[in-house]
Amino acid sequence: MIAFRDFALRRGERLLLSNVDLALHAGWRVGVIGRNGTGKSSLFAAIQGEVEADRGDIDVPARVRIASVAQETPALDEPALEFVLSGDAEVHQVILAERAAAEREDWEAVANAHLRLAELNGYDATARAGKLLHGLGFSPDTHERAVKEFSGGWRVRLNLARALMTPSDLLLLDEPTNHLDLDAVLWLEQWLLKYPGTLLMISHDREFLDGVSTHTIHLNEGKAKLYVGDYTAFERQRAEQLRQQQIAFEKEQAEREHLQKFIDRFKAKASKAKQAQSRMKRLEKLAGTEAVRAERSLHIDFPAPAKLPHALLRLVDADCGYGDPAANPHVVLDNVGFILEAGDRVALLGPNGAGKSTLVKSLVGEIPLLTGERGGHPDLRIGYFAQHTVESLHEGRSPIDHLGDIAPGVATQQLRDFLGKWQFPGNRAFESVDGFSGGERARLALAMIAWTQPNVLLLDEPTNHLDLEMREALAEALSDFDGAIVMVSHDRHLIGLVCDTFWRVADGVAQPFDGDLDAYASWLRSRDNSNDGKSVKQAKAVKAGKGSDAIDAAMPAVAETAAVASARPAAVAAAPAGKSRKANPVKLAQAEARVAELESKLHAIDMDLADPTRYADLPALSRQRDALAAQLAEAEEAYLALYDAA
């Protein structure tokens, strides 16, 4: 049990929490909620002993094993699988000891290591680490990739996997669904439901909280209150408490008024003085119930489009990807046909790296199609929110400056009025964005989109930096928007309120999904494990009645994410097995190692190309990929030449 007794916490001069008295019992799954800045992360730091209470204390049993997600990941040469496995430090040390003993042929030490692994139930540790990586979206061929080769978003996932691997009695997760796609969020939800310890999680994803939490701690105005139930149950209970509080306040105010009138009228009369004194004492003893403060509610809106034609945007027979179409391009999505009309509300589903952001960029026209046609109505006006949009705001400049850049000649007062509707009132509109939180920056980026009065909104993870209140406001605004919407988001509540059409992007294709989000979640859980990862291209080959050679050529995609992996070319894979006995084995091994090395590097580049956070590096990455592809072609020719010369 974790107990808070008269707990108070400050950060600098600011009092975050005070008079906190509550107890958390073993096995509870607790959602920690509250507006940004109310002290959620500071509370976690206090539980871990990283900050001291200003008053009172926290009672955490000494033997409780605490696991949490690291905020930073060093640039390690260690493979991803090894990094996750090291989360179980004791088992990992035994495995390392066993490897070292085997290398020096100390078989007694090897036997002792195996006995220790059995005591720790560690024989399946590597398999468990692999399952965690798979569940969080890492394809099998990335498990041996060095940690330093992953981008920031994927390193966050590695840290999460490592925390889940760590044996613990108390698991602290701060915004665990950030940087996850919907598939990974659904997987994490199921994993946490089986976690046997006590779980505390900070999240702005209400569907995730509803799916996992048994209790809720609400931080508000320096107080922490514990509620039984998930987020929806919290909302109901809090609404009822506020209603009862308002009733009690109004009743008390009426009694106060009645008593005060009696006192004012009769306190000067000797015959009533005693009664007046009695009522004065009664007035002093009244509880002093506070009125319910109107909790600040956000309201934003996207203005109606100036023009809204019926047919807005289309892709016809489009291959989407990167590079020169004439020189070995990287095709992410094949043969896409997509039509967007007024009123359409489309959510793109599928794992990260499968091509959702690539499809959105192709719709925007930000990257050219490799083949096919992109067409738009002459009155098409797109509002585009990308994952890198928040980072692209100019440091040292204010909201007024940013809005003025896209609205030259517009009066400052008109810009201030507009920004006020997006919760940048008064002088806030003139403050530098340097001090803005991620949520404030995202709100400014959305405001700039709204100013342009688009008739199509293309939104790629718009909620990553937003708190619950802003997410609700965004959902309402998008529901009222008259134009068309295409959205990528892991927030099921937002998708469920806004979108009515779903497309799954995976295995190199984009196609409609017949069902809603609940059906999609059920489908993910019920997929036959033996078919997990089978590419759509394989299915098409089988359906078309193609021979076994075609199916075999497609099989490398089973072990890789088809949208980002580059399978070994069939020419190399099909080299006759018998030839290897005649060729020089040393040279063959060197040639094959060279091919494998280049394939690994090429796959790493492909993953980075599919990562929206690396968009600024796109030109350099494309050049690197072209150079590697050329080197790989040469290496394959050298590999095959060994057979021809043998």
pLDDT in tens, 68-108: 998 777 888 899 999 999 999 898 988 888 888 888 888 88
pLDDT, residue 267, reads 66
- Do 397 and 330 share a structural domain? yes
Rounded to whole angstroms, the Cα distance separating 482 from 537 reads 37
Give the domain CATH number at 382.
3.40.50.300
pLDDT, residue 31, reads 94
Does residue 455 lie within any of the structural domains? yes
pLDDT, residue 411, reads 92
Helices (H), 481-617: 492-498, 517-526, 536-543, 548-554, 570-573, 585-609
pLDDT, residue 133, reads 92
- Do 347 and 444 share a structural domain? yes
Does residue 557 lie within any of the structural domains? no
Mean of per-residue pLDDT scores for the chain: 81
In the predicted model, is pLDDT for residue 226 greater than 90? yes
Confidence band of 118 (pLDDT split at 50, 70, 90)? confident
- Do 484 and 375 share a structural domain? yes
Query: Can you tell me the mean pLDDT for 240-269?
Result: 73
Which of 151, 176, 210 finishes a domain?
151
Does residue 541 lie within any of the structural domains? no
pLDDT, residue 35, reads 79
Percent of the chain with pLDDT over 70: 83
- Do 271 and 356 share a structural domain? no
Does residue 531 lie within any of the structural domains? no
Rounded to whole angstroms, the Cα distance separating 524 from 312 reads 32
- Do 363 and 275 share a structural domain? no
Confidence band of 258 (pLDDT split at 50, 70, 90)? confident
Confidence band of 536 (pLDDT split at 50, 70, 90)? very low
pLDDT, residue 112, reads 87
In the predicted model, is pLDDT for residue 217 greater than 70? yes
pLDDT, residue 388, reads 80
Query: Can you tell me the mean pLDDT for 256-282?
Result: 68
pLDDT, residue 534, reads 42
pLDDT, residue 551, reads 30
- Do 451 and 323 share a structural domain? yes
Rounded to whole angstroms, the Cα distance separating 315 from 543 reads 25
- Do 619 and 512 share a structural domain? no
- Do 402 and 280 share a structural domain? no
Which of 229, 251, 275 finishes a domain?
229
- Do 618 and 501 share a structural domain? no
Confidence band of 615 (pLDDT split at 50, 70, 90)? low
pLDDT, residue 578, reads 43
Q: Quote the domain boundaries for residue 334.
A: 311-526
Does residue 358 lie within any of the structural domains? yes
Question: pTM value?
Answer: 0.71
pLDDT, residue 209, reads 93
In the predicted model, is pLDDT for residue 272 greater than 70? no
Q: Which of 17-31, 195-209, 269-283, 294-308 has the lowest mean pLDDT?
A: 269-283
- Do 490 and 384 share a structural domain? yes
Query: How many domains in the chain?
Result: 5
CA geometry: angle at 357 spanning 381 and 343, to 5°?
A: 40
pLDDT, residue 269, reads 62
User: In this structure, are strands 501-506 and 509-512 parallel, antiparallel, or unpaired?
Assistant: antiparallel
Does residue 293 lie within any of the structural domains? no
- Do 369 and 344 share a structural domain? yes
Q: What is the largest distance, in Å, between two alpha-carbon atoms of the chain?
A: 126
pLDDT in tens, 135-189: 998 888 889 889 888 877 888 899 999 999 999 999 999 989 888 888 899 999 9
Rounded to whole angstroms, the Cα distance separating 625 from 633 reads 12
- Do 411 and 518 share a structural domain? yes
